[in-house]
Structure 1
Amino acid sequence: MERKQFELGDVVQMKKQHPCGTNEMEIIRMGMDIRIKCVGCKHSVLIPRAKFEKNLKKVLRSKADQTTEEGNPGESGSV
């Protein structure tokens, strides 16, 4: 089975939802443990990498995609 690719700043969907009702989390720290922050209530949790990879469903928004959309100089509209 292929390992899921994720990096710092990505918004991911977890298998189980947070008690506030959302299952979207933002990755804010990576290492042996991963700190994720709930998009809904901003609560952060530190979990082991193995448990995070097991409970990760998919990457919703990648940080790399967000930076390329913001960095297009032709769409700024300035003259």
Structure 2
Amino acid sequence: AKPVEFTRQVSTDAVTGEKTYGAWSADQSFDAVTSPELKGYTADKAQIDKQTVNGDSKDLAFTVTYTKNAPTITTE
């Protein structure tokens, strides 16, 4: 996924050196991601839905597990 960036203003008191932090920039979103198709396997999640994040959000991690499809038997 393409990364997103957040900014905020930081003011430093010239006398004390104390920093004051402003609010983070607006929320941003990651688009939904469709799980790739692998021949002979089925994903447990067809897609990871759109995610909205802000400057205080933690890292996001998702796991998609693929299971081997049962063999197909053909008869004539």
Q: TM-score, normalised by structure 2?
A: 0.23
Considering Cα pairs closer than 8 Å and 6+ residues apart, tell me whether 1 or 2 has the greater RCO.
Answer: 1
Q: Return the structure number with greater strand share.
A: 1
Q: Return the structure number with greater helix share.
A: 1
Q: TM-score, normalised by structure 1?
A: 0.22
Query: Whose radius of gyration is greater, 1 or 2?
Result: 2
